[in-house]
Every structure is written in structure tokens, then in C-alpha cells.
């Protein structure tokens, strides 16, 4: 749940925003027309996109390219809320800011598909602090200042070890990368994502996703994904000493009781009996 949100807009588009989020919370971030820089203070989320599935640490930032992303913020014993700061990169605004400079930057590197995690250096931390100052003094903010802050962030990233990341992100804003259903499914097969979330990662409506999935796999999404997860569970039951609950989580089920019922319905016996039988072989 977002409990507080403050924004700075540039010509009617939100360019920089700060949110206070009550935990736990899954942030559905849809950036089909832009890239963005997100800084997570103190707590690290699970980041899921069409090309990534990774765990971040606290006080880290990430560059996200155009597309759909899910940011899963989990509560622990110490934290009940987290501060998130977002800087958006709109292609039309970048074109205006950089004019003829941007193509030269783009041509120096080849674009890749991955979003890169950025460990917050002292320099980037100072940039975050400078934004905090302007949130405390919003009367000082205007379009000219916002242009300067965007250019400042890009220059800091280019001069850091993250030069490839920012160049690739900017290049990605000017190209259309097609993501296949198979790429998304194989990457997130064992993630705890619902079918509608997988459809969003493919930039498809739920009905279009199901139709194209059927064409690609000759199966329904729920049936195919359940079967693949259970096959992985059988492997873990045989080869590891993980508990039933741990195995359920590893293959993408949050509810171990549901996992046990599904396993018994599909395989014919409960996971514990399947493990015992395999140990005897």
C-alpha cells in the first residue's frame, strides 16, 4: 500500500517521485513508454521483469528498461515501510535535452536485454540526498532544474562502472525489443507469479496471452506451469533433503498445503510418500 507520494512534473509528465510504501507490497510498475531509475532505501526487493528475476539489497538502485515489472517488497521484523525514489526517463524528454548528443552515446555500445543493478556508491548517495533537499523545498523546483537533475544523474552513471547499463537503457528507449512468451515463461516458471502477471510481462491482455500460449505450448498456462513445477518438485524430493514447505517455495508455490494437494491429485501420492518411495529404489 502506498501511504505517501510526492512528485515533480516536467511539462505535465511525472519525472521524479518519492513514495512511502507500507509492507508487504507488490508494486506493479508498468513502464511501456519509458525507462526508469529506482532507488530502494534500507530494504531490498525482489525484482521481476520480462528479462529478469533477481533479489536486490537495501540502499541499491536499479535501471529498468521499457516494459512491465513487479517489485515485491517483503516485510521483515524491523521494517513495516520503505522509501522508494523513482526517476523516469522519457524518450521525448531525453531527445529534447540531448539534441544531437544522444545518438553518439548510443552508437558506442550494443544494446542488451537485461536491467542492471546499481550498487549505490557515495556519489549516487549524494545525488539521492540532493533530491531529498528539493522534496523539502519544492518551491525551488522548475523545468530548468529538473532538466539539470536528469542530466546530472545520467552523467554520474556514465562516469561510473555502470556506463554500459545507462547507455543500453537509453538505446533501448529508441528501439522496440520484442519479448516472446517462451522467454518470459522459461525465466519465471518457478516464480510465484499469477497468469495475469505473466501476461503483463509479455505486454499482452490476459485473453491474448492465453490464446498465444495455447498456440506455443498446445496447453493451457495453468496446466503447463503446474506440470513443470511438479516435475521440478519430484526432482528436489529425490535429490535433496529440503522440507516439503521449502520445496513448494522453490518451485513457485507460496502455500505448501495447496502444493501437497496438487501433487497428490496429479502424481497420485503425497510428496512425503513419493520421497520415501524414491529413497527405497
Domain ranges of the chain: 2-173, 181-280
> Which has more pLDDT, 63 or 113?
63
- pLDDT-based confidence at 281, cuts 50/70/90? low
DSSP assignment of 131-158 equals HHHHHH-GGG--HHHHHHHHHHHHHHHH
DSSP state of 23: S
Average pLDDT over residues 203-225: 93
- pLDDT-based confidence at 149, cuts 50/70/90? very high
**Can you point out the beta strands (E) in the chain?**
2-10, 13-22, 25-31, 35-41, 46-49, 53-55, 60-64, 67-73, 81-89, 117-119
Q: What is the pLDDT of residues 184-197, one digit of tens each?
A: 898 889 988 889 98
pLDDT > 70? residue 170: no
Class of 181-280 in CATH: mainly alpha
- Non-local CB neighbours of 103 within 8 Å, separated by 6+ positions: none
Cell triple for 246? 521449502
Euclidean distance between CA atoms 258 and 71, whole angstroms: 24
pTM beyond 0.75: the answer is: no
Taking each helix axis from N to C end, the angle separating 271-280 and 221-239, rounded to the nearest 10 degrees, works out to 50
Euclidean distance between CA atoms 44 and 61, whole angstroms: 9
CATH number of 2-173: 2.60.120.810
Output the furthest CA–CA distance in the chain (Å, rounded): 74
pLDDT at 244: 95
Average pLDDT over residues 59-65: 76
pLDDT at 118: 56
By C-alpha distance, which of 109, 96, 92 is closest to 158? Answer: 109
pLDDT > 90? residue 104: no
Cα angle value 237/238/240 (rounded, 5°): 70
Q: Please give the mean pLDDT across all residues of the chain.
A: 82
Q: What is the pLDDT of residues 80-94, one digit of tens each?
A: 888 889 999 888 888
* 181-280 shares the fold of 2-173: no
pLDDT > 80? residue 166: no
> Which has more pLDDT, 47 or 253?
253
By C-alpha distance, which of 92, 103, 99, 108 is closest to 164? Answer: 108
Amino acid at each position: 500500500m502506498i501511504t505517501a507520494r510526492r512528485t515533480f512534473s516536467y511539462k505535465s509528465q511525472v519525472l521524479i517521485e518519492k513514495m512511502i510504501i507500507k509492507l508487504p507490497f507488490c508494486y506493479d510498475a508498468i513502464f511501456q513508454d519509458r525507462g526508469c531509475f529506482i532507488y530502494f532505501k534500507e530494504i531490498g526487493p525482489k525484482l521481476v521483469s520480462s528479462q529478469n528475476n533477481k533479489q536486490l539489497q537495501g540502499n541499491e538502485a536499479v535501471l529498468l528498461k521499457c516494459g512491465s515489472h513487479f517489485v515485491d517488497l517483503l516485510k521483515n521484523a524491523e521494517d513495516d515501510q520503505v522509501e522508494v525514489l523513482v526517476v523516469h526517463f522519457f524518450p521525448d524528454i531525453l531527445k529534447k535535452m540531448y539534441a544531437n548528443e544522444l545518438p553518439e552515446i548510443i552508437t558506442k555500445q550494443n544494446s542488451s536485454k537485461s536491467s542492471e543493478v546499481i550498487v549505490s556508491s557515495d556519489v549516487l548517495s549524494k545525488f539521492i540526498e540532493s533530491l531529498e533537499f528539493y522534496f523539502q523545498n519544492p518551491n525551488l523546483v522548475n523545468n530548468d532544474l529538473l532538466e539539470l537533475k536528469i542530466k546530472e544523474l545520467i552523467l554520474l552513471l556514465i562516469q561510473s562502472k555502470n556506463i554500459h547499463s545507462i547507455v543500453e537503457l537509453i538505446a533501448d528507449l529508441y528501439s522496440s525489443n520484442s519479448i516472446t512468451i517462451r522467454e518470459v515463461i522459461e525465466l519465471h516458471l518457478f516464480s510465484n507469479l499469477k497468469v495475469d502477471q505473466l501476461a503483463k510481462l509479455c505486454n499482452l491482455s490476459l485473453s491474448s496471452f492465453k490464446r498465444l500460449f495455447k498456440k506455443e505450448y498446445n496447453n493451457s498456462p495453468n496446466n503447463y506451469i503446474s506440470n513443470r513445477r511438479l516435475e521440478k518438485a519430484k526432482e528436489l524430493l529425490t535429490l535433496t533433503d529440503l522440507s516439503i514447505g521449502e520445496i513448494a517455495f522453490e518451485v513457485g508455490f507460496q502455500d505448501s498445503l495447496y502444493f501437497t494437494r496438487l501433487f497428490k491429485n496429479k502424481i497420485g501420492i503425497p510428496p512425503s510418500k513419493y520421497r520415501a518411495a524414491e529413497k527405497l529404489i
